[in-house]
A and B are shown apart, each in its own frame.
Chain A
Amino acid sequence: MSGYSNLSWGVMTMSFSNCKRWVTGMAVAGSGLLTTLTAVADPVPWQMNLRKGATRISHDIWDLHMVALWVCVALGIVVFGAMFIAIIRFRKSRGAVAATWNHSSKLEFIWTLVPVLILIGLALPATFLTRDIYDTTGSQMTVKVTGYQWLWRYDYVSYDGKPVTKVPTIWSRLAWDSNTARQLGSGVSPYSVVSKNGDHDYLLDVTHPLVIPAGVKVRFLITGGDVIHGWWVPDFATKRDAIPGIMNDAWAKVDKPGIYRGQCYVLCGQDHSAMPVVVKVLPRAQFNAWLSAQENPVTLDKAARTAEVTPSKPGPAKG
């Protein structure tokens, strides 16, 4: 695995600026062209909203989320506004005299019907989007994801219509520096856990990330090895429970290379907070080189070096 580690760190440079990122974090996902791999999608301090993420699905979910949020804000303004006006205008201390009416069929009909219409307006796009989330057909790659206490196991099943047999299983554990710092009484500040490119990746970095190609629809088969875990990359909006005895499927097509981080989201025991999900998305050519290097360990170092100096060789044509 050492060659692959060289590759991963070698192609990374720091392209981080801390300015103004806290507002939504969207600037991070949307910033500039990446010729090298950086963490494009970490949570940022004071972040208040969802990030747009890196897939069409995550963008669509972000849009739906924002529409729902603004609908709620608008309804809130109407309801709380009416209440506020009542509180100001109809005070006994200002001499308000109570009316005696207690019923209006017309009003009650309106505020039954209007919410129904609003809800239909939200439910329709949500239905179509749910269908898209469930549509794992046409994937070009399949990876099996298995959750264990407390690490992730990744097995490549197929790629480009061919079974992948020689690539060794990836065991994806919490990175050692985080693991040292997280112990009770370790004396190591979580703030001191910093990756080579300056990311504060405490509890969000692993020994060996999952590596997938950019621009390829990847299907994940997700299951659990002992208890229920949850595999989630927020920026892919790919999220499914990893349940023993059940094989769930989900998918992601990530166009932008980079490092994407998430966490196990289902309580799975004492080290639940210590099993991050890290996915490294490589440009397709680099991924192909990486994959063949994995399949043929003898040429590993050489392939890694080749991948390093040829960043954008077009991958095999695919319809």
Chain B
Amino acid sequence: MSSTAQAIHHEEHRQSFFERWFMSTNHKDIGTLYLLFSFLMLFVGGGFAMLIRAELFEPGLQLMQPYFFNELTSMHGLVMIFGVIMPAFVGLANWMIPLQIGAPDMALPRLNNLSFWILPFAFALLLSTFFMPGGAPAAGWTMYPPLVLEGGSSIAFMIFAIHLMGISSILGSINIIATILNLRAPGLDLLKMPMFCWSWLITSFLVIAVMPVLAGAVTMMLFDRFFGTNFFNAAGGGDPVMYQHVFWFFGHPEVYIMILPAFGIISEVVPTFSRKPLFGYKAMVYATASIAFLSFIVWSHHMFTVGLPLGAEVFFMYSTMLIAVPTGVKVFNWVTTMWRGSLSFEVPMLWAIAFIVLFTIGGFSGVMMALVPADFQYNQTYFIVAHFHYVLVGGALFGIIAGVYYWLPKWSGHMYSNFWSKLHFWSSVISVNVLFFPQHFLGLAGMPRRMPDYNVAFADWNMVSSIGGFWFGATQLIFVGVVIHCVFFSKQKATARVWDHAYGLEWTLPSPPPHHSFTLPPVIDDSQLAHGDTSH
């Protein structure tokens, strides 16, 4: 074993820059690449959002033709979902899962390299469509036919990009499942794993189950567009609604793919800064699994107005409302973890608290939208735009940022600036509400989504929302500064434990951990684990 360690050590020495960053099979380096890619895409997708909010700043068209606006909304959605949220979670999984289960690396390191390096090519394909004749796809990120088929040949590039992203995330998920099931240190039972590993294990199965469904949907679209089939063409005997069923059979589990790992992060952060074990650990595991199961039987709630049969409307209303129960369990358990704790409010905890509040607000509007009659008034309005931005920005993105602030000292070996990271937090949490809360009002007043222009009655709240948008966007530049300062310039060394009540195997390693960690399986001491006590 020691000779292997020496060999690895030796290899580490002669790695050139190109070898380290382009040919890497090291989970930490690949995790860093994923996170950097996601960070870059955050500003690409965020740039689209800024243009969207600029056009919506006041009624009338000021900046762009409506078709270009539609290109922006479509690409904003695709980039944020497939380019930011999902790669960021995979990056966090790459970094943290081996450290949390005491594994030397991911189970399939070369596959890991492949699954990352697919992504830049996928997004190069996707973003290149802006420069093609006919422009980028402009039918929304949901790509509903027949509208999407009216787009130029660029939709072929979008479809192949989606195939590649799907392959990338499926390979990533296979790797995560293989790692968690095979490489846990001896004595680290599944029910002693950190919640982050649990949530990713469950998420991985969701990814493997539904990404092929999306691939199937877009492949049928490809054939309809270029090879004369009629899957979705009513005139040829096809059915446009079938696309929506297939798409949302992917799309709803996708929603949970983008939130379950954040649940995991929050379940790590809250106990640490409450100095108290996570309340109801097993219930949290079961709740996550229930949410994942239910996510497969609720898809038509995205389609309440397409003219489903009455029985289907009622079924999907009930199944959707059921999801509120395990989700409620999670929220109650986080709050109860804080209850009678010994709380301190370091930056990761601030983001976690904001996550709980904002995600819960998004959950509330979700319950309202589950009610079929009420959804008739909310469907496809800004109310739903507000809803899914609360769960995806206030939820998924805030969860990711909480995770980055929680583990960044571990990764870099340095502490970040307390002042600037707190400024980043307070500015974000205020501006995100200025940005998205008024969108509830716009939706209730009747403003449909995906519109570059609107009646003057909608002007005031749109202006408020845009101001919040520019503010939130500018605030994220602070984040860039905090991360760059922490990694390259910070003089303040991080301790191994970093946070005084952080438990789990990752905190037993020095900060930063050696390039190859746990080359020998650690001896598990239950008192070092967050969930070492499984008696309950």
Please report the total number of A residues contacting B with Cβ < 8 Å. Answer: 101
Give the residues in chain B near A181, CB-CB below 8 Å. 60
What are the 8 closest A-B residue pairs judged by CB atoms, nearest first?
A245-B234, A248-B307, A72-B364, A102-B277, A273-B451, A47-B445, A99-B340, A265-B448
Verify A43–B447 contact, CB threshold 8 A.
yes
Give the residues in chain A near B274, CB-CB below 8 Å. 90, 98
Question: Could you tell me which residues of chain A, from 16 to 66, have a CB within 8 Å of some CB in chain B?
Answer: 25, 42-51, 57-58, 60-61, 64-65
Task: Type the 1/0 row for A263-282, where 1 means its CB is closer than 8 Å to any CB of B.
Answer: 11111111111100000000
Query: Which residues of B approach A to under 8 Å, CB–CB?
Result: 59-62, 64-67, 70, 138-140, 144, 146-147, 150, 234-235, 238-241, 274-281, 283, 305-307, 310, 313-314, 317-318, 321-322, 324-325, 328-329, 331-333, 335-345, 353, 356-357, 360-361, 364-365, 367-368, 371-374, 376-377, 379-381, 441, 444-461, 533, 536
Write the nearest CB–CB distance from B427 to chain A, whole angstroms: 20
Complex Cα–Cα for A234 and B379 (A): 11
Give the residue name and chain of the B residue nearest to A120 (CB).
B321
Verify B374–A203 contact, CB threshold 8 A.
no
Give the residues in chain A near B379, CB-CB below 8 Å. 239, 265
- 19 A-B residue pairs with Cβ-Cβ distance under 8 Å, sorted by A, are A43-B458, A45-B456, A48-B441, A50-B377, A61-B373, A64-B371, A65-B368, A68-B367, A122-B371, A133-B373, A184-B61, A190-B59, A202-B455, A241-B306, A263-B451, A265-B379, A270-B138, A272-B448, A273-B448
Give the residue name and chain of the A residue nearest to B365 (CB).
A72
Question: Could you tell me which residues of chain A, from 62 to 104, have a CB within 8 Å of some CB in chain B?
Answer: 64-65, 68-69, 72, 75-76, 79-80, 82-83, 86-87, 90-93, 96-104
Q: Evaluate whether A230 and B380 lie within 8 angstroms (CB atoms) in the complex, with A43-B445, A91-B343 already known.
A: yes
Write the nearest CB–CB distance from A282 to chain B, whole angstroms: 23
Give the residues in chain A near B279, CB-CB below 8 Å. 102-104
Verify B341–A96 contact, CB threshold 8 A.
yes
Query: Which residues of A approach B to under 8 Å, CB–CB?
Result: 25, 42-51, 57-58, 60-61, 64-65, 68-69, 72, 75-76, 79-80, 82-83, 86-87, 90-93, 96-104, 107-108, 111-112, 115-116, 119, 122-123, 126-127, 129-131, 133-134, 181-186, 188-191, 200-204, 226-228, 230, 232, 234, 237, 239-241, 243-246, 248-249, 262-274
Verify A96–B342 contact, CB threshold 8 A.
yes
Verify B314–A130 contact, CB threshold 8 A.
yes
Verify A79–B234 contact, CB threshold 8 A.
no
Verify B456–A190 contact, CB threshold 8 A.
yes
Write the nearest CB–CB distance from A69 to chain B, whole angstroms: 7
Could you say which of B144, B328, B342, B368 contacts A228, with CB atoms under 8 Å apart? B144
User: How many inter-chain contacts with C-beta < 8 Å in the A-B complex?
Assistant: 302
Verify B456–A47 contact, CB threshold 8 A.
no
Give the residue name and chain of the B residue nearest to A76 (CB).
B364
Write the nearest CB–CB distance from B322 to chain A, whole angstroms: 8
Write the nearest CB–CB distance from A73 to chain B, whole angstroms: 8
Complex Cα–Cα for A274 and B360 (A): 35
Could you say which of B140, B335, B377, B456 contacts A86, with CB atoms under 8 Å apart? B335
Write the nearest CB–CB distance from B375 to chain A, whole angstroms: 9
Verify A226–B371 contact, CB threshold 8 A.
no
Give the residues in chain B near A230, CB-CB below 8 Å. 305, 380, 448
Verify B457–A44 contact, CB threshold 8 A.
yes
Complex Cα–Cα for A69 and B368 (A): 7
